[in-house]
Every structure is written in structure tokens, then in C-alpha cells.
Amino acid sequence: MDAVGTGVLAGCAVWSLVTAAVHDGRPEGVLLAVLALAAGYAAGRILGALLPVAAPCAGSLAGLALAVALPRLGPGPEAVAPSGHAGATAAVLALSAGAACCAAWTTPVASLRLALWVLAGSAVVAGALLGSTAAVVTCCAVLLCSLVAGRVARRGPALAGLAVVAALATGLIWAVAGNALPGGLADAVRDRLTSERVGLWRDALGMARRASGFGVGPGRFGELSETAARSTPSDGRPHSAPLQLAAEQGVVGVALLAAVFCWVLFALWRAPRPTPVVLSAGAALTALAVLAAAGNALGFTTVTVGAGLLAGLATARPLAEAPPSVPARATGAPSRGECDLRGGRPAS
């Protein structure tokens, strides 16, 4: 993990401890998410270097198996909460589709590439069988973006576009919470998302406005939310990662969450992997960001580990592509970029 990523994740952990100390909060959830993301990223970098095709393929299969065999992804009252486990299931399937697309763009074997595209498409089928509209939509979006990525020459503008998509989704959720949408559109969104979830968002935004500096403290949203108190049972979360951090950790918490996402996109931009691989992973992680803005996807350790794993796989340098350990000039040949001082041109 590079210095920028280490600094950002360390900032997330330290700020959660600071806000917890100010308001007697419970930072364990944030610390666990940071640890899961860091561990997944480190494992992805290692496995991506050793097994650039097999590792993402195995990760995709594991995600599909987990979503089908354990659709709730864990016990708890979230099963009957406003967003249920649908967001987490959709996130796991989107990450699985992204991993399969990365493997497909990495392998040079045509038959294996076709099989991996089928594996990526099976995430859509799994989402349909599980009855998750969010999974079908996000997996289709990841597949479409991955196919288009094969014709993209420059990854920078494409990654910037993914950042804009995530920002627009967050802005839309914020507008719904602030009752800033026109009447007809607001009613349509409320009917689709349920009024209870919108009520949770509004409670979170109200807390963020009243305590914009340090928030109300990690893990304390459920104690202070009237909507959560009326929900039985309730998991005590607003089911929106940006709004939860705004309510519990203030403006700095939201800024740190945005910094984590921007760091991941920056790491993808600098990655030595081919552009289609990078953009496939970026599309899957952007789908996760959209799901996390409107649901509780990041509340599941499985999702945060999977996100870190995919980011690590897409930014790893395979050992077969690593530069030789012995410099070229040690053998008497000029190194790459070494100039002919007499002619000012690279030596051939």
C-alpha cells in the first residue's frame, strides 16, 4: 500500500477515535471497515502479482458462491430494515462481475477469456434469481463499462467520469434527504426507496447540520434518530455511508470517505495494468460507491474486504511484467531512455 493510501486510511481511523472520544461513541465499526479494506487491498496486491488471471477468477467465483449460498451475508436485524441485505448482495455481485472482467481482459487465451465473460454475465443471472433489481442493474452497468473499456485509449478521463457518477449519486441522495427535489420526483423516489429510509436520511442530515464539526459520535445515530426508534427491529444506521459519516463524524468524516474513493481511483490511474483491466475495476468500485450512498453496503465486512481485494488486484504489477533486476548497463548495453550525448537521441 502506498504512502497516500496509508495516510488516508490512518486518517479515517484516527478521526473516528477523536469523534468517539468527544461524544463517547463506538468507533469499532469504522475501525473494522478500515482494517478490512486495508487487508483486502494488501492481499489483492500480492495475489495479483503472483496470479494475475487465477486470483480475480477465484475472487469472482467466491463472490458468486457467497451471494447465492448466503444471500443475507450475515445475521442481524438488517434483514427487515428498510434496505435489507439487497444492497450488500448487489455490491458483492458487482464486485464479482468486475473481478471476472479484469481476469478476462488479462488472459491471452481466447477460450478462457470467453469463459470469464460468461462468468461475469452469470452475476447478472444470479442477481435476477435472487430478486435483486439493484444487482441486475449494477452488474449490467459493470459489464457494459468493461466492454466499452476495450476501446478507451486514455484512462484518466474515464476514471474522472466514474468519479462524477459517484458524486452525482451522492448529491441525489443528499437532495432527497434535504427535500430539495421537485414534488413529483421526490414522491417517485420516496415510493421506490420507502418513506422509512428517506426518514432515516433526513434524520442523519439534521444531525449533520446541528453537529457539523465532530458529528454526534460513531455508532450513536440509532440513539438519536426518531425514525430508527420507530423501526422495530432497527440496526441503528441511516443506510447511506455519506450521510452516516456526516451525522456521526461531521464534515471531516465525509471528506475522508471521499478521499478514500479518490485515492482508489488515483491508484488505478497509476496502475501498470492494461486500461481495460483498470476501468473494469473502477466501474465495479463506482457501482459499490453508488450502492453505499443509498444503502448499507459498507456495513458488511465481506463487502469492504471484496472492495479492497479488487482494488489490489487491479493495481498489482504481475511478476511476469516486472522490470529486470539487473540493470541493462551492467551488461554493457545502454539503458532505456539513455541518450546519445552527441546526437541528443536515445541510444539504440
Residue-wise pLDDT for 148-189, tens only, equals 999 998 999 999 999 999 999 999 999 988 888 777 777 777
Name the phi and psi angles at 271, rounded to 5: -65, 145
> What's the number of domains the chain is made of?
1
Inside any domain, residue 329: no
Query: Which residues share a beta bridge with 346?
Result: 339
Alpha helices of 86-231 — where are they, by DSSP H?
86-106, 110-129, 133-149, 155-177, 183-193, 195-210, 221-224, 226-230
Inside any domain, residue 287: yes
Inside any domain, residue 49: yes
User: How much is the pLDDT for 319?
Assistant: 84
List the one residue out of 100, 94, 103, 39 whose CA is nearest residue 273.
103
Which residues are within 8 A (CB) of 268 and not within 5 positions of it... i.e. 6 or more apart? 155, 159, 278, 279, 281, 282, 311, 314, 315
Query: Which residues share a beta bridge with 11?
Result: none
**Separation between Cα atoms, residue 10 and residue 32, nearest integer Å:** 12
User: How much is the pLDDT for 329?
Assistant: 39
- pLDDT beneath 70: ranges in the chain: 1, 71-86, 231-234, 320-348
Inside any domain, residue 331: no
Size of the chain, expressed as the number of residues it contains:
348
Inside any domain, residue 191: yes
**Which cell goes with 35?**
482494517
Domain of residue 16 covers: 3-319
Inside any domain, residue 50: yes
User: How much is the pLDDT for 320?
Assistant: 64
Inside any domain, residue 338: no
- The pTM of the full predicted model, rounded to 2 decimals, is 0.87
List the one residue out of 95, 113, 111 whose CA is nearest residue 150.
113
Which residues are within 8 A (CB) of 116 and not within 5 positions of it... i.e. 6 or more apart? 57, 60, 100, 101, 103, 104, 107
User: What would the DSSP string read from start to end of 58-105?
Assistant: HHHHHHHHHHHH-TT-S-SGGGGSSSTTHHHHHHHHHHHHHHHHHHHH
Inside any domain, residue 324: no
